[in-house]
């Protein structure tokens, strides 16, 4: 009977939070298919620990942390693979002169240019409207680090997108 109750509880958790976790993964990685995979993998990991997590104070915060860590590992793996390919072909990366116009216009591209921790803080604080405390819990960092990384991340987005576009991002007004 207990296994059935746990299964029902987890199914309810899955139904309520899968889309949000996939959206978080998408904003962190910029890849739709990868985001779906990461959300599913994170939920499998949660199911394996559900007996302990179901009584936790904030299982969603833990789930966000799992997605964030998996996204970080996915990005690191992709970077390592690109480096191996570049070394194999012995070709120096091409240098672009001037700002990348597409990156200035596209918020996702601009987010991808942020270092992972800043991106995570900006996404959780502004796209998911989490408090500093909830963001800190999801990322396993201090509230002070969340404040600092969010501020620095937003400053970088302002530099990339322009102050008006970055302000629109925070207030939820996206102009096209």
The reported pTM is: 0.60
Closest CA to 151 of 135, 137, 140: 135
Please count the structural domains in the chain: 2
Q: Is the pLDDT of residue 134 over 60?
A: yes
Residues 25 and 105 in one domain: no
How confident is the model over 6-52, as pLDDT tens digits? 889 899 999 999 999 999 999 999 888 899 999 999 999 999 888 88
pLDDT: which is higher, 34 or 5: 34
Look at 159 and 145; give whichever has higher pLDDT. 145
Give the percent of the chain with pLDDT over 70.
77
Range of the domain at 153: 97-176
Is the pLDDT at 1 greater than 70? The verdict is no
Q: Average the pLDDT over each of 35-39, 57-61, 102-106, 126-130 and give the range with the smallest value.
A: 102-106
- Stretch 94-106: mean pLDDT, rounded? 51
Statement to judge: residues 68 and 151 lie in one domain? no
Looking at the structure, tell me whether residues 7 and 88 fall in a common domain.
yes
Q: Which of 128, 165, 132, 161 is nearest to 146 (CA)?
A: 132
DSSP string, the chain: -HHHHHHHHHHHHHHHHHHHHHHHHHHHH--HHHHHHHHHHHHHHHHHTHHHHTTSS-HHHHHHHHHHHHHHHHHHHHHHHHHHHHHHHT-PPPPPPS--HHHHH-HHHHHHHS-HHHHHHHIIIIIS---HHHHHHHHTS-HHHHHHHHHHHHHHHHHHH-HHHHHHHHHT----
Residues 90 and 107 in one domain: no
The pLDDT value recorded for residue 175 is: 39
Give me the percent of the chain exceeding a pLDDT of 90.
Answer: 43
Q: Does residue 119 have a pLDDT over 70?
A: yes
**The pLDDT of residue 6:** 82
In CATH, what number is assigned to the domain containing residue 114? 1.10.10.10
Same domain, 102 and 85: no
Based on the domain organization, do 78 and 121 belong to the same domain? no
Same domain for 84 and 145, yes or no, is no
pLDDT at 105 over 70: no
Q: Which of 5-9, 93-97, 135-139, 148-152 has the highest mean pLDDT?
A: 148-152
121-133 tens-digit pLDDT? 999 998 888 999 9
């Amino acid at each position: 009977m207990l296994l059935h109750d746990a299964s029902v509880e987890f199914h309810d958790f899955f139904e309520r939070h899968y889309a949000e976790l996939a959206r978080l993964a998408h904003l962190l990685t910029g890849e739709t298919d990868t985001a779906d995979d990461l959300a599913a993998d994170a939920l499998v990991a949660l199911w394996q620990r559900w007996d302990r997590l179901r009584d936790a104070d904030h299982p969603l915060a833990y789930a966000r942390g799992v997605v964030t860590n998996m996204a970080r590992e996915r990005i690191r793996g992709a970077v390592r693979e690109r480096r191996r390919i570049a070394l194999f072909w012995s070709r120096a990366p091409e240098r672009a002169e001037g700002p990348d116009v597409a990156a200035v216009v596209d918020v996702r591209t601009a987010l991808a240019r942020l270092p992972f921790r800043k991106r995570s803080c900006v996404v959780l604080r502004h796209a998911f409207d989490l408090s500093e405390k909830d963001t800190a819990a999801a990322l396993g960092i201090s509230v002070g680090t969340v404040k600092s990384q969010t501020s620095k991340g937003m400053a970088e987005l302002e530099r990339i997108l322009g102050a008006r576009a970055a302000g629109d991002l925070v207030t939820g007004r996206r102009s096209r």
